[in-house]
């Protein structure tokens, strides 16, 4: 069948809206009619060439939810009509990490920027007959996609699909970083540097964990205003020395229990590290451009202060096991989802959505389909 899709073709160019050919699903795959897909900053990093992918053209988009249209004969537990959230790391189910329930560490994870499906072949072709890849084995910037069952999680049908899409990336990345990586406890103090799609969810994750001091840091005052609605108790400018100074001032000179680096680790990690108290945690949720090969942290300072610097992909949550848990928190009123969406776009307006993200106008832009 044919489907309309937004393709990454060239670094620095807008996404190209094209009709492409989409093959039928292989035995372990399913066809999904995409209902909603979030405009995450990671896709923007790819468009700008800051995060290299292995092939082009490629359908970007990795924060998607939709309705299953057809399934291959070997698919288990997923049927046409089911609502699914697509996960940007597949859970192969058989590697040592998946066997331990740590699907966010799946051995197949490093292949998600390659382009082909989980089985190594492509399902999409452009009008010239050239193979088209699918970012994160999803390719969500399209009316329809074909994914392996390892990338799909069935969710309850009462959850609106635009909100279901959000728990595919930004929400678990942020909420999970607070709950499952840093393991924020009641009464803890938290710093969140960068209150975008990930950071705003760290703010609400810290609130869910009972943190009593939640310091939001950003350069955009609009994001800071919003952060208060999500649970921030204090707001500061996120630039370098000012950041460290202000956070120390708010924490009796000792720093926070947990700092979260949710934007541009190359410039924010060290100030955040220095705003963290001894034996505290510094959690990196954001990606760094491929050109940045290292970030300086004075080793003696690391040793002497006994802080932990840790990474968190998918918020250190198993998407397979814990996305349904996030949706239960939404249903109980404890997790804000609707409030994360600034604006919705049609697929043909997707480049406007990314311009708005770059201009700092959007917390989350979402492409929706009729």
- The beta strand positions in 1-108, using DSSP E, are 2-8, 16-22, 29-38, 58-59, 64-71, 83-86
Minimum separation from the CB atom of position 251 to ligand CXF (A): 30
Element (H, E) at 283: strand 276-284
- Fill in the per-residue mask, 119 to 158: x = in contact with Zn ion (CB under 5 A), - = not in contact: ----------------------------------------
169 binds Zn ion (CB under 5 A): yes
Member of 42, 189, 281, 322 binding ligand CXF (CB under 6 A)? 42
28 binds ligand CXF (CB under 6 A): no
Count CB atoms within 10 A of the CB of residue 58: 26
- Residue tagged 């009123």 (tokens): 333
Rank residues 88 and 354 by Cβ distance to ligand CXF and give the closer one: 88
281 binds Zn ion (CB under 5 A): no
Member of 6, 40, 71, 340 binding ligand CXF (CB under 6 A)? 40
Q: Which one of ligand CXF, Zn ion, none interacts with residue 83, CB within 5 to 8 A by kind?
A: none
Contacts of residue 150, defined as CB under 8 A and 6 or more positions apart, other chains included, come to: 28, 90, 91, 92, 93, 106, 108, 118
Q: Which one of Zn ion, ligand CXF, none interacts with residue 244, CB within 5 to 8 A by kind?
A: none
177 binds Zn ion (CB under 5 A): no
Minimum separation from the CB atom of position 42 to ligand CXF (A): 3
Q: Which one of ligand CXF, Zn ion, none interacts with residue 287, CB within 5 to 8 A by kind?
A: ligand CXF
Count CB atoms within 10 A of the CB of residue 301: 12
Residue 142 is given by DSSP the state: B
Contacts of residue 32, defined as CB under 8 A and 6 or more positions apart, other chains included, come to: 64, 66, 67, 68, 69, 84, 86, 144, 145, 146, 147, 152
Minimum separation from the CB atom of position 40 to Zn ion (A): 3
Helices (H) and strands (E) in the chain, counts: 11, 18
Rg (CA), the chain: 20
Minimum separation from the CB atom of position 287 to ligand CXF (A): 5
- Residue tagged 């189910």 (tokens): 93
Of 135, 180, 178, 139, residue with least CA distance to 319: 180
Member of 169, 184, 226, 259 binding ligand CXF (CB under 6 A)? 169
Rank residues 40 and 337 by Cβ distance to Zn ion and give the closer one: 40
* DSSP per-residue letters across 349-364: GHHHHHHHHHTT--SE
Rank residues 40 and 236 by Cβ distance to Zn ion and give the closer one: 40
Minimum separation from the CB atom of position 363 to Zn ion (A): 13
- Fill in the per-residue mask, 28 to 67: x = in contact with Zn ion (CB under 5 A), - = not in contact: ------------x-x-------------------------
Member of 136, 159, 167, 329 binding ligand CXF (CB under 6 A)? 136
287 binds ligand CXF (CB under 6 A): yes
283 binds ligand CXF (CB under 6 A): no
Burial class (CB in 10 A: 0-12, 13-18, 19+), 342: middle
Member of 88, 230, 260, 345 binding ligand CXF (CB under 6 A)? 88
Q: Which residues pair with 366 in a beta bridge?
A: 38, 344
Binding stretches for Zn ion (CB under 5 A)? 40, 42, 169
Binding stretches for ligand CXF (CB under 6 A)? 40, 42, 62, 88, 112-113, 136, 169, 287
């Amino acid at each position: 069948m044919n489907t309309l899709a937004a393709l990454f073709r060239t670094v620095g160019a807008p996404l190209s809206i094209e009709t492409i050919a989409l093959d039928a699903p292989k035995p372990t795959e399913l066809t999904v009619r995409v209902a909603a897909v979030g405009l995450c900053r990671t896709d923007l990093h790819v468009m700008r060439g800051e995060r290299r992918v292995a092939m082009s053209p490629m359908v970007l988009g990795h924060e998607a939810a939709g309705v299953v249209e057809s399934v291959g004969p070997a698919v288990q537990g997923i049927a046409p009509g089911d609502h699914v959230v697509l996960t940007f790391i597949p859970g192969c189910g058989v590697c040592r990490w998946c066997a331990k329930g740590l699907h966010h560490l799946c051995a197949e994870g490093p292949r998600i920027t390659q382009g082909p499906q989980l089985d190594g072949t492509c399902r999409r072709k452009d009008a010239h007959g050239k193979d088209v890849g699918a970012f994160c084995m999803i390719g969500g910037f399209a009316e329809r996609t074909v994914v392996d069952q390892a990338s799909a999680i069935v969710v309850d049908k009462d959850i609106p699909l635009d909100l279901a899409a959000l728990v595919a990336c930004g929400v678990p990345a942020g909420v999970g970083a607070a709950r499952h990586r840093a393991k924020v406890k009641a009464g803890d103090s938290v710093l969140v540097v960068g209150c975008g799609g990930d950071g705003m969810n760290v703010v609400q994750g810290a609130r869910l964990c009972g943190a009593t001091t939640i310091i939001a840091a950003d350069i955009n005052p609009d994001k800071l205003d919003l952060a208060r609605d999500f649970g921030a108790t204090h707001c500061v400018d996120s630039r370098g020395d000012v950041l460290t100074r202000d956070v120390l001032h708010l924490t009796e000179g000792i720093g926070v229990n947990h700092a979260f680096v949710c934007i541009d680790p190359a410039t924010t990690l060290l100030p955040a590290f220095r705003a963290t108290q001894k034996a505290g945690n510094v959690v990196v949720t954001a990606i760094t451009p491929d050109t940045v090969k290292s970030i300086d942290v004075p080793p003696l300072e690391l040793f002497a202060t006994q802080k932990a610097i840790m990474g968190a992909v998918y918020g250190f949550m198993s998407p397979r096991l814990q996305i349904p848990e996030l949706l239960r928190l939404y249903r109980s009123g404890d997790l804000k989802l609707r409030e994360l969406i600034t604006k919705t776009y049609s697929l043909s307006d997707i480049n406007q959505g990314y311009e708005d993200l770059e201009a700092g106008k959007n917390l989350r832009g979402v492409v929706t389909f009729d």
